[in-house]
Structure 1
Amino acid sequence: MTGTRLAGQTILVTGAGQGIGRGTALALAKEGAQVALAGRTKAKCEVVAKEIEAFGGTAFALGCDVTERSQVDRAVADVVEHFGGLTGLVNNAASSVQQPLAQVTDADVELCWRSGAMGTLYGMQAALPHLRAAGGGSIVNFGSSTAVDGNATFGAYAMAKEAIRGLSRVAAREWGRYNIRVNVIVPVANSPASVEFGEEHPERFEAVQKSLALRRVGDCETDIGRAVVALVSDDLSYLTGDTLMLTGGK
């Protein structure tokens, strides 16, 4: 059984096979959106698609490496062909490298840059004509608290994530005339990397949680995914070019 808040919307989520991408896809589908799930490992997206179909939602899984423009273009075209259009895009896919800044290599930067900043740009450019054809829509991109705070060892990742925030502000101003809104979420969430950290370093993880005002790391679906629902819905139709800090009061 699904709701109707996002009925009529078709939204593509990248990196949808796990973590925040999965949580976002579930939250969107539960509110009635048709959700396209893209990821490098199609099998993971197919598992999420089955989860969505199990509660009566509509999903379409496809493989896509966002570091390749041709694959992103093909994924968007396949979604439009499958569902008949596109009204929203969630750019979640990204790879991270942890390395002291003095040791960051060109390869580290290239990986984060192509999977994060360039992948986001490719998705936005591919989606633009279809969002315009739909009379407008919403794009949600993801930044990172590690970049906002300047956390040690996240230099390459921070470069890409802050580039995404700048890109999003420019797109919001250029595309607002088409009724296309572009916003960024900076999350603190129980992603697979966060869960792994908690299992390997339980005391440090507990200290991190205690440092948050809400004393807990956000849930990928109920805390982050439902915020995406709000951003793509009419409830926040006057919000664009902004960053939503979902960090639990970090």
Structure 2
Amino acid sequence: MWLRGLGFVAGLAAVLLTTSAQAAEKIKLGVIGGAEEEIAEVAKKVAATKGLDVQLVAFSDYVLPNVALDNGELDANAFQHKPYLDAQIKAHGYHIVPIGFTIVEPIGLYSKKIKAIDQLPEGAKIGIPNDPSNGSRALTLLAAKGLISIKEDKVRSPSVLDISGNPKALKFVELDAAQLPRSLDDFDAAVINTNYALEGGLNPQKDVLIQEPRQNNPYGNFIAVREKDKDKPVFKILVAAYQSKEVETFIETRFKGAILPAW
């Protein structure tokens, strides 16, 4: 009887372990490698304390994370802002929606040839991202500092073709955003996203010539999911993990203002 009792207890323990393993939720989250992946690692640890196993998948460009989310290879991604997602939806018909803000990375103009914006020469060669949303973001930054002007009906999402004034006759070269830090020597200056600036050894606080405002910045990044999945409980856990005190403290300590919480 005692042995049978032991067998029952062992069997019950096995059932409980199996049930617990089955109950553990797992999701795949796409992020950009580097600084954003570091932040995601902290959010992953917080999510684990809430019973959510977040498996990170790192990418090196901005195109593939939405492709992978749309085709089901990912459950969510955390790398983009609303203007970028809007442009991707328009181009590809994705049914992807934002569910919670993560970080904001003010984009900036960098150079290895000049130390101040007033040193920018006539006919300077300027590198900007070649995707529509970050390209327009770059041009908006330059226009805000008086380097160019934009046609009045295009100020919300300008392209190079929408430049109406260019007093220094700046020459714009559009390049994949990830390539700009590596190609900085080829330009007089380049507008670079913060994550790629950090990866390229640039300091967004010391090396930047001009930069987007840190407060009320419309380019906050967020977690995105397929529209049909937006109300799943696991994603509420994920958003809460990203917007936790642990992540906020890590961002402030690790990046010292170069990257900011967006929630």
Structure with larger RCO (C-alpha < 8 A, sep 6+) = 2
Largest Rg, 1 or 2:
2
- Which structure is higher in helix share? 1
Normalising by structure 2, report the TM-score: 0.30
Normalising by structure 1, report the TM-score: 0.32
